[in-house]
Structure 1
């Protein structure tokens, strides 16, 4: 079900920059090594800006090439070996990742928030030949590396290195004239293993080939070009973007931002941890043009700007991803800044290697509950229970197929068969509709509440709750009912001076939604709702206590 944001074909026609043939971008790179080698030409332009220092593109490429050479020549790694990356958003995270690509290795970015037990699970699963970690992650990974006799290169570590551990800061300074190692990297080779967020169980390692990741690098470039055309601007004109990076580098939402910035010689401004006031200061100090983050941090940024009266003069784009954006986000942005700051959201998963749909500009303002249209190298299908294609406007499971999709799950054939059809369609597990080519996500299939035979889409009820001025955050889920099977319940976090009651919130929802969708139970929570590092609410942590409270009549 392809539907282009480029109806005239200026971007996708034969010979155009984003022409697709056989599901693959014709003129795009075929490997990540090919993609990153082109960035060397940006030379002295700043690439990575952090409290710890700044790397130009030239310095970055020299450092990545030197580390790649060490991995190959000193540690004896060969194409196909796995290299784990575990650190916070230091600039050296990018050096480690791209060193792995230049060496032909399979990069395995791990969640920096994981405990030692969670790291051990993933390390046992992917069996890396080297660990590239920061000092904070060394205590959680060092014991495994010692047991398995796997070398470790540690970054930003002031303590003793220990046996089998090299301090990155002690390595020889990179030689700008040294080329990357001479290894063959093919499009069909594996490029990354990225573990799913694990919101419903043990994480699985999603394996993307070089060609898939190269497609993922092209997708945001197409979105940027289509956005420019929509504003009446020639793509590629104007200053390179300066993007405030708030996504953790290990998450695919970050990859979408990184790829789009690197492709045009832009700058990534990094934060050690999220803080809305600091974000305002960084935007002003560095002339940030693009904000990228989960909807929660975007809303906090807007609230901080309102409190301080900041006009964010340099900001031209506000991009959200990683979790569903409440429809009122774009309204708040427009009310504050008019049409000067372009809103953008989209849809992507670990299994799609980042964003594969995009909603932006006037289209986003008109359809704020949509995630937009797919990129040229992405196909969309709305499937019924037996896999049949459903008519436009009907709710069904979102299936995707395209260049950037992973080939399957690492050493898990059963999970791969369950998720992928024989002809390459990926079953997302998300309920969606398509109208005029625009995709709208309705809910997760497993999170949908079936109340007395009626489907209640949690995201719709959450949006209604978010619409109340006293509600800061909300999660809707199903709790057991002896007659109805399930009934709707909500957990909400209120603002500091809020006085609204649970009954008043139920009445608020009832003004816009059918009675069967109104939560039978509304629980007010005093602390933030539990979320994973990329902003998704961990409903499994809410469900048990909520069910017990309902059973006890609380």
Structure 2
């Protein structure tokens, strides 16, 4: 174990060894049975009973009938109504000439329309491109052009953002706008003209989906991630990638019961307060896929607000929330928390950002809810490991063991030598959740995806039971409240300022966000620039969460090693006053 358990555990726990629980759950004929299939010529263990495609999944969801699928303000869309809207939009897309392999862009905040568009496009074999709604128009333009979207769905805010800067977007044939508040240009149309508003989805015709032949390993999504150099990369995901998460999440929950010595209960629908954007794999893949399979309800918020979140937890009797540690911290520490009935909460789950062991303890002791987390990345379509309940309380700095269809290994700097248990090296992962590669970037794909394995760029170690401990990130990345900030992107913007000749972006610890970006800058001789000026410079060019919260100026160029790489660890001392505060 990595440290003493955070709370006193039952002395008889665990009632079942990890390996025995896995063997019991994956027995032939059972829900979690495993088989081996070839994916791109590589034998791969997969969940035998995972749904075959997104089209199959959304069609099966009709069985949930009148149960609420999405809740947003006063809009409540049932599973039946949602499917009617999906089918109607799928047929509309086919009528527009959209077919298998065409890219369909989707840039909007969490709204009931988001999953409708997602499933409609994916069900006809199109490749859905969820774009970061926080991006500037320039960042959106890059993602749209790089993926080659033929049609783009946006909400009113994204439409106006793009309309203001008016990028050419040559591949876009039609822009479809949800909840438009302004007159649209000739290339745009209102989504409501195709399927109406969420209030009216239940009155749409009861139609089947268009008949399209889909295979599990057909391409389904492009989620954008960034490396430490160059432009963002589109991770090309398959139907199997997304379907894998359904059984992965269910397996982790079932394993917790067996470890506790309890019978696995029959699945019952739960209500989730979905606080993180759907354009992240955490929300889209790790949360929504399982929700649709189980008949869970997803409650959306226009934007994160702690008071509003507690109101919704009380009103909707929310069972599960989370997403990133920030959300749990802000609810825990809000002075008005006791004014709200939060007793319905059963679990607070998160990933995507570092979390302090103190948070794990407080979720359990103050909410009476079980904490859970996991490890994954955009390139693994979210979940590879699952960590919850007593296992998490016992190993609060671990991200858990891999699920049985996944493998982890720790590899030396040479990219070949597998290291021993307990040694720190680069974490490699493989399994049916690993994406097909990067869209139109063969060199980057070859460097990252090796014979079914993905090189994660995370520095980690494994213990003797297979629990993984992420100790650092080899990739030069900062995670602020679940949002990835790639240092080179911000540094390039700072370098573009006429007064800056040397700079580095580093992450400084933040109690609730995990990390925040901060910059160290060396100015050109005779030039001047203030902290506020450089922050405004970045803010005007990148999404606001990428703006450095603090900038320190140094007289000399930044320290580097023999290879010319900036020694960022030596710069953290400049922010000790901020960390201490």
- Please report the TM-score for the alignment, with normalisation by the length of structure 1: 0.79
Q: How far has the Cα of 1:492 moved from its partner?
A: 5.7
1:491-538 per-position Cα deviation (integer Å, ceiling 9, x unaligned): 46689xxxxxxxxxxxxxxxxxxxxxxxxxxxxxxx9xx99xxx9986
Note closer, same or farther for the CA distance 1:187–1:141 as it changes in structure 2 (3 Å cut).
farther
Note closer, same or farther for the CA distance 1:162–1:64 as it changes in structure 2 (3 Å cut).
same
Q: Which residue of 2 aligns with 1:206?
A: 235
What is the SS of the residue equivalent to 1:304? coil
2:134 to 113, 137, 142: 113
Q: CA RMSD in A?
A: 3.3
Note closer, same or farther for the CA distance 1:145–1:490 as it changes in structure 2 (3 Å cut).
closer
Note closer, same or farther for the CA distance 1:254–1:199 as it changes in structure 2 (3 Å cut).
farther
Q: Which residue of 2 aligns with 1:523?
A: none
1:16 has 2:30 as partner:
yes
Q: How far has the Cα of 1:420 moved from its partner?
A: 1.4
2:152–2:172 contact (8 Å) kept in structure 1: no
Give the Cα–Cα distance (whole angstroms) in 2 for the partners of residues 490 and 196 of structure 1. Answer: 18
Give the Cα–Cα distance (whole angstroms) in 2 for the partners of residues 308 and 169 of structure 1. Answer: 41
Give the Cα–Cα distance (whole angstroms) in 2 for the partners of residues 199 and 36 of structure 1. Answer: 36
Give the Cα–Cα distance (whole angstroms) in 2 for the partners of residues 320 and 213 of structure 1. Answer: 18
Give the Cα–Cα distance (whole angstroms) in 2 for the partners of residues 100 and 310 of structure 1. Answer: 40
Note closer, same or farther for the CA distance 1:551–1:222 as it changes in structure 2 (3 Å cut).
same
1:10–1:16 contact (8 Å) kept in structure 2: no
Give the Cα–Cα distance (whole angstroms) in 2 for the partners of residues 366 and 55 of structure 1. Answer: 40
Give the Cα–Cα distance (whole angstroms) in 1 for the partners of residues 88 and 312 of structure 2. Answer: 31
Moved more, 303-312 or 395-404: 303-312
Q: Which residue of 1 aligns with 2:209?
A: 180
Q: Which residue of 1 aligns with 2:445?
A: 416
Note closer, same or farther for the CA distance 1:537–1:437 as it changes in structure 2 (3 Å cut).
farther
Note closer, same or farther for the CA distance 1:494–1:375 as it changes in structure 2 (3 Å cut).
closer
Q: Which residue of 2 aligns with 1:360?
A: 388
1:246 has 2:275 as partner:
yes
2:422 to 364, 377, 393: 393
1:371 to 383, 399, 404: 399
Note closer, same or farther for the CA distance 1:27–1:493 as it changes in structure 2 (3 Å cut).
closer
Give the Cα–Cα distance (whole angstroms) in 2 for the partners of residues 63 and 52 of structure 1. Answer: 18
1:162 has 2:185 as partner:
yes
2:145–2:171 contact (8 Å) kept in structure 1: no
2:94 to 72, 86, 92: 72
Note closer, same or farther for the CA distance 1:536–1:217 as it changes in structure 2 (3 Å cut).
farther
Q: How far has the Cα of 1:10 moved from its partner?
A: 2.6
Note closer, same or farther for the CA distance 1:231–1:164 as it changes in structure 2 (3 Å cut).
farther
Note closer, same or farther for the CA distance 1:551–1:297 as it changes in structure 2 (3 Å cut).
farther
1:6–1:226 contact (8 Å) kept in structure 2: no
Aligned residues: 479
Q: Which residue of 1 aligns with 2:11?
A: none
Q: Which residue of 2 aligns with 1:521?
A: none
Give the Cα–Cα distance (whole angstroms) in 1 for the partners of residues 403 and 187 of structure 2. Answer: 45
Structure 1 unaligned residues grouped into runs of 5+: 449-457, 463-475, 477-487, 496-526
Q: Which residue of 1 aligns with 2:454?
A: 426
1:46 has 2:68 as partner:
yes
Q: How far has the Cα of 1:216 moved from its partner?
A: 2.7
2:344 to 314, 318, 334: 314
1:345 has 2:373 as partner:
yes
Q: Which residue of 2 aligns with 1:281?
A: 311
Q: How does 1:209-228 map to 2 (within 5 A)?
A: 209-228=238-257
1:4–1:376 contact (8 Å) kept in structure 2: no
1:265-311 per-position Cα deviation (integer Å, ceiling 9, x unaligned): 01001111111111111100000000122111211111127753545
2:222 to 186, 190, 193: 193
2:314–2:340 contact (8 Å) kept in structure 1: no
1:440-473 per-position Cα deviation (integer Å, ceiling 9, x unaligned): 100001459xxxxxxxxx99xx9xxxxxxxxxxx
What is the SS of the residue equivalent to 2:396? coil
1:292-331 per-position Cα deviation (integer Å, ceiling 9, x unaligned): 2211121111112775354521000000112122221112
Give the Cα–Cα distance (whole angstroms) in 2 for the partners of residues 447 and 193 of structure 1. Answer: 22
Q: How far has the Cα of 1:549 moved from its partner?
A: 7.7
Q: How far has the Cα of 1:239 moved from its partner?
A: 3.6
Note closer, same or farther for the CA distance 1:38–1:149 as it changes in structure 2 (3 Å cut).
closer
Note closer, same or farther for the CA distance 1:4–1:165 as it changes in structure 2 (3 Å cut).
farther
Q: Which residue of 2 aligns with 1:304?
A: 334
Q: Which residue of 2 aligns with 1:384?
A: 412
1:228–1:234 contact (8 Å) kept in structure 2: yes
Give the Cα–Cα distance (whole angstroms) in 2 for the partners of residues 490 and 206 of structure 1. Answer: 25
What is the SS of the residue equivalent to 1:318? strand
Q: How far has the Cα of 1:364 moved from its partner?
A: 0.4
1:4–1:375 contact (8 Å) kept in structure 2: no
Q: How far has the Cα of 1:183 moved from its partner?
A: 1.3
1:284–1:312 contact (8 Å) kept in structure 2: yes
Give the Cα–Cα distance (whole angstroms) in 1 for the partners of residues 395 and 346 of structure 2. Answer: 20
Give the Cα–Cα distance (whole angstroms) in 1 for the partners of residues 219 and 174 of structure 2. Answer: 22
Moved more, 192-201 or 348-357: 192-201
Q: Which residue of 1 aligns with 2:13?
A: none
1:32 has 2:38 as partner:
no
1:322–1:536 contact (8 Å) kept in structure 2: no
2:22–2:255 contact (8 Å) kept in structure 1: no
